Structures are given as C-alpha cells and as structure tokens.
Amino acid sequence: MATGNIFSKTTQALFYNYKQLPIQRMLDFDFLCGRETPSVAGIINPGSEGFQKLFFGQEEIAIPVHPSIEAACAAHPTADVFINFASFRSAAASSMSALKQPTIRVVAIIAEGVPESDTKQLIAYARSNNKVILGPATVGGIQAGAFKIGDTAGTIDNIIACKLYRPGSVGFVSKSGGMSNEMYNTIARVTNGIYEGIAIGGDVFPGSTLSDHVLRFNNIPQVKMMVVLGELGGTDEYSLVEALKEGKVNKPVVAWVSGTCARLFKSEVQFGHAGAKSGGDMESAQGKNQALKEAGAVVPDSFEAFEAVIKETFQKLVEEGKIDPVTEVTPPQIPEDLNIAIKSGKVRAPTHIISTISDDRGEEPCYAGVPMSTIIEKGYGVGDVISLLWFKRSLPRYCTQFIEICVMLCADHGPCVSGAHNTIVTARAGKDLVSSLVSGLLTIGPRFGGAIDDAARYFKDACDRGLTPYEFVEGMKKKGIRVPGIGHRIKSRDNRDKRVQLLQKYAHTHFPSVKYMEYAVQVETYTLSKANNLVLNVDGAIGSLFLDLLAGSGMFTKAEIDDIVDIGYLNGLFVLARSIGFIGHTFDQKRLKQPLYRHPWEDVLYAK
C-alpha cells in the first residue's frame, strides 16, 4: 500500500469501458483546476479502436481508444491509474489484468457486487505488489485541485460549492460515495476544504481500508487533520483503532460511524451497502464509535454534531498556527454544453438538417406522421411506404398498387442490359454487394432507364400546350433532342413490350383519367409512321401514367407535380426497382462462383 500521495496534478488515467458522462466530468474538473493536460490519457473498449471526441474546456479533443489493457498501457506508459467501469461480472478479471501491468499503481473498481472470492484475490495481489485498490462499489477519489476519478464529488456546481478546485488541509476517507459528497460540502463550510477524499467502497471486502488511507494522510505534509466516516458492519474501523493506539497517527482524527439506529430494530438489518449489516456489539456503530473515542479520535455524540466537532478541531489547529490561510482563487467558467444551454433557454442554435418525411424521436419511428405500428396493423405495402416517404401522404390504394406494379415490372430486364452487365462484371471481380450494386446503378441515365422524368416532362409540356403529335415530334427533332420514352432496340410495332401493355391495362381499369397516357399513345402512332421500332417504351409508359396518377388523384397541385418531375421522383422508381435485379445478379454470380470476367477478343473491333 502506498505511504503518501497517490494522485497529483499530472496524474493520468486509463478509463475502462467507455462512459461519456464520467469522463467528461473528469475533463471539466481538469479545466477547473487549471491542469495543462487532460487526466484521461486513453480509453479501453475491448475490441474497439479509434478516438472519442470530448471537451477540455472550450477545446474539443480526441482521446484514443484501445482494444486491450495491454495496448493502452503500452501506448500511455505514464498513465498509472486504472478506472474500471466494467460490470460486476467482468470487473475482477479486467482489474487483475490492470494490476499486473507494471505501469499501473492505482485501480478503482466502480462496480458493486463483485464476487468476494475474486475481490480477495485482487487484494492479495495488490498488497504483495504495493498497489492500491479503491472499491469495489466505490465512486472513486479526488485530490482537490489536481485529479478526480469519474463521478467523484458529483456535478461541477457541487465541486465549486465544496471548493474542490483548490487544495485544503483535510484528508477525508469514507466507505460511502454518496456520503462523501455530503461530507465534502460539510467540510468546506467549516474548514479550508479537502486536500484528498477517498471512498473505499461499500462491499464487504474493500480493496483498501480506512486505516490505509488515514496512515497515508498522516505522511502527507499538506494534510493537517483527518475526517473519517465509517459505518456499521465488519471490523475495518478497528484497524484504525489499533493504529491510533500504537501511535502511528500524530494528526487529529475526527471520526463517526453511522448506523447507530440499528439498535432500534429487533432483528439484524441490512443497510445500503453489502458490508453495512448490523451484527454483534463489536460490529455495531456504537461499539466502533466508543472504540475510536477511547483510542484518541475525536468522536461526536451524534452525526448532527459531526460538523461542529470538525469545525472545533480545525479552529484549534488554526489557533496553534499549524494551518496557514489558503489563498482563494476564482475558478474558470466551464463552458456549458450546447444541448443543455438550449434546453435551459439560454441560447438558440440553428439545426443542420431538415427532415419532413420521418421521425424517430418517439416511442416508435413514424413515416410522414404515420406510426410504424399503424403501417403494420393496417397491412400497408411497399407502395404505401413509398407514398409516405416520397410524397408525404397516404395515396389511394390504386395509386400505391400502381407504384408496386412499376417496381415489379422494372426489377430486372435480363443480364445483357448495361446496368446488369456492369453489376455482373463487378461481382465476378470479387467486389462486395454494395460495390456491385453501385456499378450497375451508375449506368442509369438518359440512355438507360433514366428517361422516365424526361418523358413525363416533355409529354406534359406538349400536352398542356396543346401541341399535336406532329408539332411535338418535329419540334424535338429541330432541337436535336430524341423524344424520351419513345423507341426500343428490340421491341417494335409487331413485338410490343408486354410491360407497357400491362401498365396501360391497369390504368384504364383503375385511373379516373388517362389524359397524358392517351397523348403518349398518339405520339407513338406518329413515330411508328417513321420507323417500326419507335414504340412507346416502359419509360414513356411510366412517365405518362404517373402524370395521370398525380393529376387524377386530386392530391397534388400543379406546382407540386412540376416539382416531382423536376426533382427526379419518377427516375427514382426505376432506380429502386432495378436495384432489386442488380442485387439478384450479384447474388447469382457469387452463388455460381463465377471467375473474373474478360471480354472476348472476337467481340472487339480493333480499328486503326
């Protein structure tokens, strides 16, 4: 066990099992104390690597994350405190691993309920290797103005109220972390404050004892008096009694053992901590208080008198000239986190993203205001989900079914079209699913599958202006623009595209109006007079029919329809649908274990 200071203003720690709030509280305390370097050197998250962003005052810093204790200790050889936030199930193993590292001197075990047999092994190893354990079931410890562990002393407001940003003259040790916070406040009211405070932990077998730390405090020149808060149960306080009787402590010790109310109960009572159990007279609070008093500690008659006795002891030391006045300093202002400031109404900040189609902040996600449970309970289909996320409204069933038909009909068109070919070649090159999918999607454009928006745009403009098919087609020809949605490499007047026929049949049956589709058919009649393959293709059919869907549903204004076409919603249908096919081709090539593709020489014209 250490014989003097275990912390200083340059102490750095390794934090096991990332917890944002206690780490940030440590860094805020660092800033409050005027430390030059952050007290957290590294974070250990088993299996993870990288960095975690936190604040050191106004500055945002990146603290390295290591996958193992060994890696962290090697990377930060000057970090000698190990703060273990592992659960009680794994705390013992990780703590033992840390104790075995030559760079680690102090291990704080936050978890309570660590198996007692494991704790005994940790204690034995630590004592034989001159190392310090705080806990299990501890909040940690603090050296005022220098270093603190995790959530010790609570919020920044409490730390400032207790003047823990600068050292005082009192060494404090307790079993309870919660009561430590109370006592820091009490001591700050009646003395010049804490020099060091330790919570040894409330489990039956703490890694270090009350007397261990009192003896340390006795060797620290800055500590002029000690305050000890014990509790009923166990015999830990008697080691302090022996130390006092043997004259090992030559500074005033003010002590109180809580739990005197246990005698009011007829049977044995278990208090908050595992070790706080009323047993025989020796383990009772009264028995311990009496023993401490007889050994020379200053013990009040009740907890209510504890503060007054601390004040009296401190004042006596001041009068004897053993305590010099502490120079008060004004701690710096800790910058307030933006989210806290916004909630308190102190600031307003612009958002970075606007979203109107979904919301995941409640108990369940919502699509355009419709809860996920409603979507499932009402049997919504993919078309309904698309209508909510793309068009922000629930379209009639005939509309959503049309969307689904478009997706089904456009999902694939064989392995020879450019998008599928690219996907197949990429998959056979050993690339992953996303890479293969994207290589196919990147071919979608004016010449392949990307003409739906243009078809809708030109058909709508011509129809709305009352152009005859002749005027429309010849006008496009003069501009050097091919009519989108017209023409096919394989299909012709005598070999119609079945997909187009199916879409037209559905629209005639369910749509209230097919004005734009009829116009597209009139254009087709004219273009077929020029060439046998200038038929209405699937792009033109979907483009014109979608115009009829939007206009006929009565749910969209003219401006909204124009926006939908201009933004590219309709091409989105083809992208969505064809993704299904591209994914299928990727899986097909992987399943067949096809080798790298190489285009055959005989299929290439090597021109001079």
Mean pLDDT of the chain: 93
Between CA 598 and CA 1 the distance in angstroms is 72
Domain range list for the chain: 13-320, 411-592
Confidence band (pLDDT; 50, 70, 90) for 278?
low
Secondary structure element (H or E) that encloses residue 66, with its range? strand 59-66
Between CA 608 and CA 208 the distance in angstroms is 88
Query: For 563-592, what is the mean pLDDT?
Result: 95
Between CA 277 and CA 110 the distance in angstroms is 21
The residues that are catalytic are 273
Between CA 574 and CA 412 the distance in angstroms is 10
> Any idea what the Cα angle at residue 375 is, between residues 370 and 381, rounded to 5°?
125
Question: What pLDDT score does 279 carry?
Answer: 56
pLDDT digits (tens, 9 = 90+) for 425-436: 999 999 999 999
3-state helix, strand, coil in the chain (%, to 5): 45, 15, 40
Residue ranges of alpha helices (H) inside 411-514 are 418-428, 433-441, 452-464, 469-478, 498-510
Question: What pLDDT score does 269 carry?
Answer: 56
Spatial contact of 215 and 203, defined as CB atoms under 8 Å apart: no
Peptide linkage before 115 cis (omega within 30 of 0): no
Provide the CATH number for the domain formed by 13-320 in this structure. 3.40.50.261
pLDDT digits (tens, 9 = 90+) for 159-196: 999 999 999 999 999 998 889 999 999 999 999 999 99
pLDDT exceeds 90 at position 449 = no
> Cα 405 from chain centroid?
40
Question: What pLDDT score does 419 carry?
Answer: 95
Confidence band (pLDDT; 50, 70, 90) for 263?
low
pLDDT digits (tens, 9 = 90+) for 29-52: 999 999 999 999 999 999 999 999
CA distances to 14, 431, 435, 578 from 587, rounded to whole Å, are: 45, 11, 13, 14
pLDDT digits (tens, 9 = 90+) for 312-322: 999 999 999 99
- Does the pTM of the predicted model rise above 0.85? no
Place of tokens 């739990």: 259
Spatial contact of 144 and 165, defined as CB atoms under 8 Å apart: yes
Nearest in space to 311 (alpha carbons), one of 193, 175, 161, 484? 193
Amino acid in the structure at residue 376: I
Question: Could you tell me the strand order of the sheet in which 170-174 lies?
Answer: 147-148, 141-143, 194-199, 170-174, 225-231, 253-258
Spatial contact of 586 and 436, defined as CB atoms under 8 Å apart: yes
What Rg do the C-alpha atoms of the chain give, in angstroms? 38
Question: What pLDDT score does 275 carry?
Answer: 47
Query: For 532-555, what is the mean pLDDT?
Result: 95
Amino acid in the structure at residue 200: I
Amino acid in the structure at residue 82: F
Query: For 223-230, what is the mean pLDDT?
Result: 97
Provide the CATH number for the domain formed by 411-592 in this structure. 1.10.230.10
DSSP, collapsed to helix, strand or coil, labels residue 372 as helix
